[in-house]
Amino acid sequence: TEIGDDFIRGTMPVDHRTHQPYGLLHGDASVALAETLGSVGAALTVDHEKFMCVGLEIN
C-alpha cells in the first residue's frame, strides 16, 4: 500500500483466492479492493471532529 497527498494505491494477488474459474480476476475481488482503499483513504483524510465517512456506491 502506498499513500500520498492526493492518492492511495494498493495491490492484491491474483491467485486461487481471487480469480474466477477462467483464471481472470473476479469482479467482486476488484470491488473489495476499491472499497477498502476508499475507506482507508477517507478515514485518513477527514477531520473526525467534524465529519464521518459512510456509504458505498460502485457502478
Residues forming the active site: 35
The H or E element containing residue 35 is helix 27-45
Positive or negative: CA dihedral 54, 55, 56, 59? negative
User: What is the rounded CA–CA span in Å between residue 17 and residue 28?
Assistant: 11
